[in-house]
């Protein structure tokens, strides 16, 4: 018989109280399209039919849960499809891009087998009110049934309760962790002896097909040297490939709300998703898609809980949106999400540590973020607890922790598993040693504030912040340009063709001084731009390139109508000609002398 197919996540051990939130979420979050349910279908979904088809299963094609499923004499359950016999067994189905969610409501004593598609990855969980029914689970594949295993109870990961994300969540019931199941044709759940009287059990499954795109994206190497690969981001700083949300197939329509962000990150929490490590490369993206659907639809989180995920092959995946460039608050360590980064390795690591490839990818991620946010991987950090029922520390308590900590350090959970936890010392020292091999530069102060608001325009930092004098200010190079700051002008990005003109003008020490605005498009000239400076302006078009203007000639040009003037845009900077200062334009030129002022000559 093959090893068990359990892949239960320990996202703070909480990937599942979600099971309960099928109905609760639909009722409390109409923005997700909650269509409501009839009396015979108490389990609701959270999506409008247009984007997320939702309907009770009445065609007899759904798997059986509840009475009406006979049990063969060998004790193995019959998994043939049959409609639930009792009204409280009604099944509601919701479909999103790439995922199908089914919710069953049933008394625990009526639990039977669920038929699964072994070509899909299925995430399964349960929830209830009141006493824990002590659920157990087993799996069927071509070799037969696995042994019964405890279905781990949710230990409360998720958003900090006092955060904006936490406040928007529906009320959560008790439940199990989310359990990813692979290569199985059926699954059966049963209650323990004390749980057979539970009458308000909900069971939810999220099935995700493994696609050809999954196989293609995971064939790419985890590390790169110089050039990137088409299907993944070859991150300049990380010097490794990151499989983006687009590449692993994230359904962005599932994102429920805007996630919180902080000005910096102080450290990292290490997680495992728990369960079997028998998944294949191509199944890993499907597992992550299932988590996205589960975290948002069933738990009510804004987005996927982790900032980054790593599979056993060393492939790095972008988790919560925005985490590549910004300090995005996750939902991975309840009470301690703010100012931290959540990295989770797919699999369970209680008896054995993750693969060398996976550990090296975790080290590289930490080294990169340590450079980006200027923290020491082998140092300490002080965090303030956000509290919560699963946190080891009450709200408001200041806690000193390792900069690279395990989830169990702040929550009542075994995550990231004993074997992985014992490797955290080596992870810390390895990440510190790797800092010199990766990029990543801290952004701080006014330039950092500008970067966080305009990261899509700037790209990632490519240098540390530099100081400028005469005039005083600062600058920092980014992937798409340079951000300059002075107390008088504020922080602004200088890039592209306008930057070429700025170079010719002498940058900050030239006659223009610091940028006083971002680049702007001319109102009446298509594909032409300008940027204001403390002492002038630079204009740009593909025909005229970047040309600086200042003083009396700039004033005259503005008076003539800017880009609509009879002169058009400047084609040169100022230059001396016959004892005068001259500047050429598309349709003429200007001259200036102190005696005669500005003269305009139109062709």
> Would you put residue 597 in left (φ > 0), alpha (ψ -120 to 50) or beta?
left
Pick the more confident residue, 215 or 501: 501
**What length does the chain have?**
603
- Please return the burial class of 54, using the count of CB atoms within 10 Å of its CB with bins 0-12, 13-18 and 19+: buried
Residue 515 above 50 pLDDT?
A: yes
> Taking residues 418-435, what's their average pLDDT?
96
Kindly state the DSSP code that residue 393 receives in the 8-state scheme.
Answer: S
What's the pLDDT at 217? 82
Q: What is the mean pLDDT of residues 80-96?
A: 52
Whole-number pLDDT of residue 485 = 98
Q: Which of 81 and 482 is assigned the larger pLDDT?
A: 482
> Which tokens sit at 46?
């959270």
pLDDT score of 37 = 35
User: pLDDT per residue over 275-299, tens digit each?
Assistant: 678 899 999 999 999 999 989 988 8
For residue 454, cis peptide bond before it (omega within 30 degrees of 0): no
Say if residues 79 and 70 touch (Cβ distance below 8 Å): no
Neighbours of 24 (CB within 10 A): 22
Q: At residue 69, does pLDDT exceed 70? A: no
Look at residue 97 in the predicted model and tell me its pLDDT: 85
Alpha-carbon dihedral 49, 52, 55, 56, rounded to 10 degrees: -150
Q: Using the predicted structure, report yes or no on whether residue 413 has a pLDDT greater than 50.
A: yes
Which of 493 and 389 is assigned the larger pLDDT?
Answer: 493
pLDDT value for 112? 75
Per residue in 140-173, pLDDT (tens digit) is 999 999 999 888 777 667 888 888 888 888 877 7
The position carrying tokens 């009204």 is: 87
Mean pLDDT of 84-101: 65
Provide long-range contacts, Cβ within 8 A and 24+ apart, for 465-473. 468/508, 470/509, 471/508, 471/509, 471/513, 471/514, 473/508, 473/514
Burial class (CB in 10 A: 0-12, 13-18, 19+), 378: middle
Residues 6+ apart with CB under 8 A from 30: none
Query: What is the rounded average pLDDT for all residues in the chain?
Result: 82
pLDDT of residue 481: 96
pLDDT at residue 541, rounded to an integer: 97
Check residue 155 and give its pLDDT: 62
Between residues 424 and 137, which one has the greater pLDDT? 424
State yes or no: pLDDT of 222 exceeds 70: no
292, 251 in Cβ contact below 8 A?
yes
d(CA 546, CA 535): 16
Helix axes 424-434, 356-373, angle to 10 degrees: 60
Between 180 and 402, name the one with better pLDDT.
402
> Looking at the predicted structure, is the pLDDT value of residue 433 above 60?
yes
Q: What pLDDT is stored for residue 238 in this prediction?
A: 82
What pLDDT does 234 receive?
Answer: 57
According to the model, what pLDDT value does residue 20 have?
A: 34
pLDDT tens profile 4-18: 444 443 333 333 333
Mean pLDDT within 319-331: 93
Is the previous residue joined to 542 through a cis bond, with omega within 30 degrees of 0?
no
Q: Is the pLDDT assigned to residue 70 strictly greater than 70?
A: no
The pTM score is: 0.72
Dist CA 27 CA 37 (whole Å): 10
What share of the chain in percent tops pLDDT 90?
54
């Amino acid at each position: 018989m093959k090893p068990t197919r359990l892949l239960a996540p320990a996202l703070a051990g909480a990937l599942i109280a979600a099971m309960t939130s099928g109905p609760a979420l639909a009722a409390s979050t109409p923005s997700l399209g909650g269509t409501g349910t009839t009396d015979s279908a108490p389990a609701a979904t959270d999506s409008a039919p247009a984007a997320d088809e939702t309907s009770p299963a009445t065609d007899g094609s759904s798997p059986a849960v509840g009475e009406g499923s006979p049990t063969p004499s060998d004790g193995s359950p019959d998994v043939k499809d049959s409609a639930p016999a009792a009204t409280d067994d009604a099944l509601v189905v919701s479909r999103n891009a790439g995922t199908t969610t089914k919710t069953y409501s049933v008394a625990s004593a009526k639990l039977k087998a669920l038929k699964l598609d072994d070509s899909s990855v299925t995430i399964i969980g349960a929830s209830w009110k009141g006493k824990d029914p002590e659920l157990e689970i087993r799996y069927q594949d071509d070799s037969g049934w696995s042994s019964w295993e405890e279905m781990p109870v949710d230990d409360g990961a998720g958003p900090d309760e006092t955060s904006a994300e936490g406040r928007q969540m529906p009320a959560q019931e008790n439940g199990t962790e989310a359990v990813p199941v692979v290569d199985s044709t059926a699954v059966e759940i049963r209650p323990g002896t004390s749980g057979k009287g539970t009458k308000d059990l909900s069971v939810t499954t999220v099935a995700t097909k493994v696609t050809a795109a999954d196989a293609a994206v995971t064939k790419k190497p985890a590390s790169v040297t110089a050039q990137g690969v088409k299907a993944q981001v070859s991150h300049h700083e990380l010097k490794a490939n990151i499989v983006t949300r687009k590449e692993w197939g994230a359904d962005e329509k599932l994102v429920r709300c805007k996630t919180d962000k902080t000005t910096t990150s102080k450290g990292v929490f290490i997680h495992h998703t728990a369960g079997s490590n028998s998944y294949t490369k191509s199944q890993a993206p499907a597992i992550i898609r299932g988590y996205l659907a589960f975290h948002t639809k069933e738990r009510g989180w804004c987005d996927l809980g982790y900032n980054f995920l790593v599979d056993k092959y060393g492939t790095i995946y972008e988790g919560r949106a925005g985490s590549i460039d910004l300090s995005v608050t996750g939902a991975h360590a309840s009470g301690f999400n703010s100012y931290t980064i959540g990295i989770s390795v797919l699999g369970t690591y209680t008896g054995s540590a993750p693969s060398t490839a996976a550990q090296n990818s975790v080290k590289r991620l930490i080294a990169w973020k340590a450079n980006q946010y200027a923290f020491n991987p082998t140092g300490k950090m002080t965090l303030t607890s956000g509290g919560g029922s699963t946190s080891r520390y009450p709200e408001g308590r200041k806690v000193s922790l390792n900069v690279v900590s395990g989830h169990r350090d702040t929550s009542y959970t075994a995550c990231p598993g004993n074997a992985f936890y014992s490797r955290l010392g080596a992870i810390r020292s390895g990440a510190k040693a790797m800092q010199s091999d990766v990029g990543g530069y801290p952004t701080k102060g006014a330039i950092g504030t500008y970067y966080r608001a305009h990261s899509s325009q700037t790209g990632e930092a490519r240098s540390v912040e530099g100081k400028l004098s005469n005039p005083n200010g600062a600058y920092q190079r980014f992937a798409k340009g340079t951000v300059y700051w002075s107390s008088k002008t504020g922080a602004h990005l200088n890039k592209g063709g306008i930057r070429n003109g700025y170079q010719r003008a002498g940058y900050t020490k030239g006659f223009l001084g610091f940028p006083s605005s971002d680049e702007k498009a001319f109102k009446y000239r298509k594909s032409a731009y300008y940027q204001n400076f403390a002492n002038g302006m630079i204009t740009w078009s593909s025909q005229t390139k970047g040309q600086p203007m200042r003083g009396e000639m700039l004033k005259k040009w503005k008076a003539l109508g800017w880009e609509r003037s009879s002169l058009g845009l400047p084609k040169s900077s100022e230059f001396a000609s016959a004892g005068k200062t001259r500047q050429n334009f598309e349709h003429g030129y200007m001259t200036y002398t102190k005696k005669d002022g500005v003269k305009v000559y139109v062709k």
